[in-house]
């Protein structure tokens, strides 16, 4: 099972079943009898996301639809597949978001925006309305930390402003406010700083999207 999902602890949703089945033969099947996941895989996905089985399957088919020639319908052997960023970024939830590439980079294993199914489920789980604000804040910080150095520095703020304004500001207008120019070190929320709280920036992807359409 996938590393990024496995590293985060999320509460099991009510209604989830008990101990994992160990029988691959008891794989989850859809109406067409196509085996997609084993019970163990679905249990793990439920444990590591905020989704029900039905929601996980719905998201899987959306992932598969992005690249049907690439993504198999049988995931019981955990195929080594990544959907290119160009397809991920074209999804309705992301295509108009100025941070879409950065979001995909943060959630992808290699930081290149190309996503495994685990990366994909992880991203939607964090973006969902069920994810707690602290978790969203943690990822918001990572997204704003463009150079991945653990600080929100002036350069990060310039990148943020450039994306929010879609590159329409002049060079002078680009300069961050003086009190924001010194690098910040995370001091709050277990080593994380929610930039949206401090700069008045409230990008819509932090506040939650509807993942059920
Ligand atoms: Ca930084």
CA distances from 207 to 128, 132, 133, 155, 164 (A): 9, 10, 8, 24, 16
Q: Mind listing the pLDDT tens digit for each residue in 144-155?
A: 999 999 999 988
pLDDT for 140 equals: 93
Distance from Cα 112 to the centre of ligand 1, integer Å: 17
Residue 28, pLDDT > 50, answer: no
Identify the structural domains of the chain with CATH numbers, from first to last: 34-127 (1.10.238.10), 133-165 (no CATH)
Distance from Cα 142 to the centre of ligand 1, integer Å: 9
Contacts of 13 (CB under 8 A, 6+ apart): 46, 50, 51, 52
Distance from Cα 96 to the centre of ligand 1, integer Å: 24
Distance from Cα 149 to the centre of ligand 1, integer Å: 5
Q: Mind listing the pLDDT tens digit for each residue in 59-110?
A: 999 999 999 999 999 999 999 999 999 999 999 999 999 999 999 999 999 9
pLDDT for 33 equals: 61
Q: Mind listing the pLDDT tens digit for each residue in 180-195?
A: 544 444 444 444 444 4
Distance from Cα 125 to the centre of ligand 1, integer Å: 24
Distance from Cα 157 to the centre of ligand 1, integer Å: 9
Give the rounded percent of residues in the chain with a pLDDT score beyond 90.
55
Distance from Cα 173 to the centre of ligand 1, integer Å: 20
Distance from Cα 189 to the centre of ligand 1, integer Å: 18
Residue 176, pLDDT > 70, answer: no
């Amino acid at each position: 099972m996938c590393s990024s999902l496995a590293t985060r602890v999320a509460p099991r949703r009510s209604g989830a079943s008990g101990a994992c089945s160990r029988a691959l033969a008891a794989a989850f099947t859809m109406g067409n009898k196509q085996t997609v996941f084993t019970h163990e895989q679905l249990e793990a996905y439920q444990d590591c996301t905020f989704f029900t089985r039905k929601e996980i399957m719905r998201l899987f088919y959306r992932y598969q639809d992005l690249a049907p020639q690439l993504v198999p319908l049988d995931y019981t052997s955990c195929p080594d597949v990544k959907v290119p960023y160009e397809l991920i970024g074209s999804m309705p939830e992301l295509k108009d978001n100025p941070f879409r590439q950065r979001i995909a980079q943060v959630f992808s294993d290699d930081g290149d925006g190309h996503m495994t199914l685990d990366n994909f489920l992880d991203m939607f789980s964090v973006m969902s309305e069920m994810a707690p604000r602290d978790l969203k804040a943690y990822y918001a910080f990572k997204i704003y930390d463009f150079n991945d150095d653990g600080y929100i520095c002036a350069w990060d703020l310039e990148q943020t402003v450039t994306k929010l304004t879609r590159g329409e500001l002049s060079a002078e207008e680009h300069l961050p406010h003086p009190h924001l120019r010194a690098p910040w070190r995370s001091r709050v929320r277990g080593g994380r700083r929610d930039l949206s709280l401090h700069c008045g920036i409230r990008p819509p992807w932090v506040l939650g999207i509807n993942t059920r359409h």
